[in-house]
Amino acid sequence: MHFTTATLFALLGSAIAQKVHVVSVGSTNGSLAFSPDNLKADVGDMIQFQFRAGNHSVVQSTFDNPCSPINEHTNTTGIFSGYQLVAASVKNGQIPVFTTMVAAKTPLWFYCSQGKHCQAGMVMVVNENTAANATRSLANFKNLAKGISASTAPSSAFGGSATNQTSGTGSGSGSGSGSGSGSGSGSGSGSGSETGGGSSTTQTGSASTTSSTAIQTAAATVAGVSSSMGLLGVVAALFML
């Protein structure tokens, strides 16, 4: 089996380019927000939602129907992290985490389904595209959410699996080694087309609990590197053929 140099370098570039975007859900000061609430991500990138305080969730919706699951309005499955009670994990020095992969470049709209959090502005967007439609902005999405009488959510979490992960504490200058054993497997296959601004992606993800002392940015980096190294190994193997 032979591969051109261009093909091999394309695979290598794909491995290196994958990113992990960290989004904080809630905060220790009680604010109802995703931070950041507007980000850009490429297909294949991972979004890691880190639950910082309170009892929140992440649900995918459409632009036209904020505060309700996307699967109630389209044939797209979307994601639901389930409700994450942070206090229960903090007692063990951990925070809940939910990770999902971006499978399409179209805008992805998310909200927290807890109480009136969505109506209070706890929403976010990935790949906002006001160049294509100026009215479909995060600001307008928040305004639409204000008028929704009640938020809804799926009956159970999907798009990932719940695990417990612990990591050692360390200083900012210390170096550490970690072993990652979980390889996220994707669930959900259909990708829908966006109609009237609805999101069009099916994502895979994983829910986990990780050490808050690591602040999880390092864990996100390890996850991205692990994924990249896996593909790097494939590319290296192909060079040997």
CB under 8 A, 24+ apart: contacts of 34-37: 34/110, 34/112, 34/122, 34/123, 34/124, 36/124, 37/123, 37/124, 37/125, 37/138
What are the residues whose beta carbons fall under 8 Å from the beta carbon of 86, sequence distance 6 or more? 26, 51, 52, 53, 54, 55, 56, 95, 96
CA 201, CA 223: separation in Å to the nearest integer? 22
Is residue 108 within 8 A of residue 30, CB to CB? The reply is no
User: Tens of pLDDT along 37-67?
Assistant: 999 999 999 999 999 999 999 999 999 999 9
Q: pLDDT band for position 160 (50/70/90)?
A: low
Q: What is the pTM of this model?
A: 0.69
Q: Is the pLDDT score of 144 beyond 80?
A: yes
* Weakest mean pLDDT among 26-35, 47-56, 66-75, 231-240: 231-240
Q: Is the pLDDT score of 214 beyond 60?
A: no
